[in-house]
Amino acid sequence: MMIKEFYLESYPTDELGIEIKEKVTFTGLLDVLHTNGDVYEYIGVWDSLVRERLFEKLSEILETPYNYVYETLWLKL
């Protein structure tokens, strides 16, 4: 699933959605998290609300709690 498409459909009033890079996917986001990459660089938007919304969707896709994506994959707690 393309992140920008999802974001623009889900949050049409958030102007930052248009700044999300065109070809980023949730699979790619998961890969960035597994390889300790820069999530903000990957998506092209440096806003924590956008990141949180994407993490929420990723947790739905993975069928895991949000805290797994946030704490385990991103913060590495």
Give tens-digit pLDDT for 11-49: 999 999 999 999 999 999 999 999 999 999 999 999 999
**Domain ranges, residue 26:** 3-74
**Residue 62: strand, helix, or coil:** helix
**What is this structure's pTM?**
0.96
Confidence of residue 1 (pLDDT cuts 50, 70, 90): confident
Number of domains composing the chain = 1
Q: Residues 25, 27, 54, 59: is their CA dihedral positive or negative? A: positive
pLDDT at 77 (0 to 100) = 78
